[in-house]
Amino acid sequence: MDLKLEVLVLPVSDVDRAKAFYEKAGFRLDIDYVASDTYRVIQFTPPGSDASIILGTGITDAAPGSVQKLHLVVTDIEAARAELIGRGIDVGEIFHDATGIFHHIGTEARVPGLAPDRGSYGSFAEFSDPDGNGWVLQEITVKAPGR
């Protein structure tokens, strides 16, 4: 049985502000459906992604900004970071983890710059939407077997 991740719900405090942010970031607007003052659904898809995000009104009771570490996989982290910055998105510096594996929470074991030998899965850069929902760019050039 295949189980494919399709949609992640992001809690936001200002739907129009979040919509403007994700449009600026280059996400594709799939739907903006307004049923009433208390129910609105906006769906965006990151460029090249099969999974989407949904934000809106009346769709979650999670605290705005509480979703963290959503990974966007890129093949060239320097180019992806530069493009987002060019679109007006505040993206942090590229880093890798001292362990050479996944990144720690916060800045523990964070080492500035690309992963040694620019190893696949090892380089990261972070940004957040206006509410603080956190995104991570992760460079993957060669996928692990079975991926």
* Residue 2 belongs to some domain of the structure: no
* Residue 145 belongs to some domain of the structure: no
The CATH number of the domain holding residue 14 is 3.10.180.10
* Residue 126 belongs to some domain of the structure: yes
Asked if pLDDT for residue 147 goes beyond 80, the answer is no
* Residue 147 belongs to some domain of the structure: no
* Residue 144 belongs to some domain of the structure: no
Residue with tokens 């710059």: 113
- Provide the residue range defining the domain that includes 81: 7-139
pLDDT of residue 26: 98
* Residue 118 belongs to some domain of the structure: yes
* Residue 21 belongs to some domain of the structure: yes
pLDDT digits (tens, 9 = 90+) for 20-70: 999 999 999 999 999 999 999 999 999 999 999 999 999 999 999 999 999
Residue 18's pLDDT band (boundaries 50, 70, 90)?
very high
How many distinct structural domains can be found in the chain? 1
pLDDT digits (tens, 9 = 90+) for 76-129: 999 999 999 999 999 999 999 999 888 888 888 999 999 998 989 999 999 999
* Residue 65 belongs to some domain of the structure: yes
Burial of 57 (0-12, 13-18, 19+ CB in 10 A): middle
83 CB contacts (<8 Å, ≥6 apart)?
Answer: 26
